Structure 1
Amino acid sequence: MVKNAHGHTLDLLGQAILSGQYPVGASLPPEPVLCEQFGVSRTVVREAIKSLVAKGLISTGPKVGTRVLQDDQWNWFDPDVITWQAHAGLTPEFLRDLQELRRVVEPAAVRLAAEKATPQDIAEIEEAYAGMKLAVEQGGDYVVHDLRFHQGLLHASHNRMLIQMGKALSALLRTSFEISTRIQDGPRSSLPLHRAVLDAVIQHAPAKAERAIMVLINGAHEDIERVVSTRRKIPGLTGVPARLKKVA
């Protein structure tokens, strides 16, 4: 999708901040410089600056100008921020924070799902699982179905706040899933772990479902730790989901 001048300028500034071109505490160039640099009007630059303020990346004020804030003030639930981080390069700290967040949120949500899931909820999760299985066996977009599987679990909790959190978590979860997908046989080995979670939800067995999701999360954690511990460059994400090739 081609973005308008505002979206394009916002992306360029956001990526510059996340990549460290403008480090924490640094000032962004004055408006006229940014206008010339990006070939846009002052209105476009001002709107982009407002968006960055709303995302917690920068602050503006008289005399102090526009400065980059500490990263613990950035909105890590904002899909744009996650995308910019993915383009800039995923850090071990980012990935470990993500895994800790999953350990806090998903087990509780899956426990509720096992208690409250309706036949329609289960059918939707089953459909997502079938898509994952088909992608492993015949090739295709595994990550999209994996994301739907986990979103389905959050929705089946029938907790409005968890459902809303699920929307915010989507970009974060996609990041984790794309890394796992890039690990050899990662999707194939995770399929039975997903099946165990789904079966426990179908059985309305909360404790069993919670244990099963923890096994799945711990497996993802081990995958990410292997990537981090090799000290190789962490796989960059393009924003385009990885597609599995058909197995001959």
Structure 2
Amino acid sequence: MIKNVHGNTVDYLGEAIVAGRYPVGGAVPPEPVLCEELGVSRTVVREAIKSLVAKGMIHTGPKVGTRVLPWDDWNWFDADVIAWQAKTGLSNEFIRDLQDLRRVVEPAAVRLAASRATAEDIAGIEDAYAGMKRAVMGGGDYVTYDLRFHQGLLRASHNRMLIQMSKALGALLRTSFEISTIKKDGPRKSLPLHRAVLDAVAAKDVECAEKAILVLIDGAHDDIEQVLASRRRLPRLSKPPPTLKAA
């Protein structure tokens, strides 16, 4: 999707804040400076500032100007904030926070999915699984289908709050899936684990579905912790996902 001038300005300022170019507690440049730097009108800058205030990233006042708030105040369930963090680089702390969130949210969502999923929901998750299997067997984009699989489970919960959380979890899920493609036979070994989750949800077996997703999550957690401990560079989400080679 092509963004307009307002969207591009919000992105520029948001990324600058997340990257620390405008540090926490520090001031964002005044309107005239930003207008000249970005080549936009004062109206565009003011609207962009309002958007960042709404995301909890900055505060404006007549005496203090515009200042960056502590990251604890930021709305981490905002899709833009997550995207800016992913583009800037996922820190170890951020990854671990998301891992904790995933272990709390996804099992609960899968329990609901096992009791609420419609035939259409199951068909969508089946289609995602089929895409994962094709990528493992014949090469291709495994990560995108893996992400669709898990987002399909969250949508199948038919809980609006959980569906919104999927946007925050997306950064972790994609990172986790890219790490699994690095490990030898990682995607191939994960296929039966995904199948177990899907079968349990389709059978409306709530307890079995929860146990199956926890096995999958804990395996991904171990993979990520190994990568963090090795100090290897985490995947850059600003790049297209890697593709598997044909077996």
Q: Which amino acid aligns with 2:161?
A: M
Conserved in 2, the CA contact under 8 Å of 1:181 and 1:242? Answer: no
Question: 2:192: which partner in 1?
Answer: 192
Percent sequence identity over aligned pairs:
72
Q: Which amino acid aligns with 1:113?
A: A
Question: 1:129: which partner in 2?
Answer: 129
**Deviation per residue, 1:137-157 (Å, 9 max, x gap):** 223332222222112212222
Question: 1:203: which partner in 2?
Answer: 203
Mapped to 1, the partners of 2:14 and 2:31 lie a distance apart of 16
Mapped to 2, the partners of 1:58 and 1:229 lie a distance apart of 33
Shift of 1:5: 2.1
Pairs aligned (count) = 247
The yes-or-no answer on 1:8 pairing with 2:2 is no
Conserved in 1, the CA contact under 8 Å of 2:147 and 2:174? Answer: yes
Provide closer, same or farther for how the CA distance between residues 54 and 181 of structure 1 changes in structure 2, counting only shifts above 3 A. Answer: farther
Shift of 1:172: 4.9
Shift of 1:98: 0.5
Question: 2:116: which partner in 1?
Answer: 116
Q: Which amino acid aligns with 1:186?
A: G
Shift of 1:48: 1.3
Conserved in 2, the CA contact under 8 Å of 1:24 and 1:68? Answer: yes
Mapped to 2, the partners of 1:39 and 1:180 lie a distance apart of 43
Q: Which amino acid aligns with 1:141?
A: D
Provide closer, same or farther for how the CA distance between residues 134 and 144 of structure 1 changes in structure 2, counting only shifts above 3 A. Answer: same
Conserved in 1, the CA contact under 8 Å of 2:114 and 2:206? Answer: yes
TM-score, normalised to structure 1, is 0.90
Shift of 1:122: 1.7
Question: 2:101: which partner in 1?
Answer: 101
Mapped to 2, the partners of 1:156 and 1:3 lie a distance apart of 30
Mapped to 2, the partners of 1:79 and 1:91 lie a distance apart of 17
**Residues 33-44 of structure 1 correspond to what in structure 2 (within 5 A)?**
33-44=33-44
**Residues 82-231 of structure 1 correspond to what in structure 2 (within 5 A)?**
82-166=82-166, 169-231=169-231
Provide closer, same or farther for how the CA distance between residues 36 and 184 of structure 1 changes in structure 2, counting only shifts above 3 A. Answer: farther
SS of the residue corresponding to residue 60 of structure 2 reads strand
Mapped to 1, the partners of 2:22 and 2:182 lie a distance apart of 30
SS of the residue corresponding to residue 101 of structure 1 reads helix
- Unaligned segments of structure 1, at least 5 residues: none
SS of the residue corresponding to residue 67 of structure 1 reads strand
Mapped to 2, the partners of 1:72 and 1:181 lie a distance apart of 32
**Deviation per residue, 1:11-35 (Å, 9 max, x gap):** 2211111111111101011111111
Mapped to 2, the partners of 1:226 and 1:49 lie a distance apart of 40
TM-score, normalised to structure 2, is 0.90
Mean Cα displacement is larger for which, 66-75 or 157-166?
Answer: 157-166
Shift of 1:80: 1.4
Question: 2:78: which partner in 1?
Answer: 78
Q: Which amino acid aligns with 1:85?
A: Q
Conserved in 2, the CA contact under 8 Å of 1:6 and 1:44? Answer: yes
Shift of 1:130: 0.5
Shift of 1:235: 2.6
SS of the residue corresponding to residue 66 of structure 1 reads strand
Conserved in 2, the CA contact under 8 Å of 1:15 and 1:85? Answer: yes
Mapped to 1, the partners of 2:90 and 2:162 lie a distance apart of 26
Mapped to 2, the partners of 1:75 and 1:202 lie a distance apart of 34
Provide closer, same or farther for how the CA distance between residues 222 and 172 of structure 1 changes in structure 2, counting only shifts above 3 A. Answer: closer
Question: 2:241: which partner in 1?
Answer: 242
SS of the residue corresponding to residue 234 of structure 1 reads coil
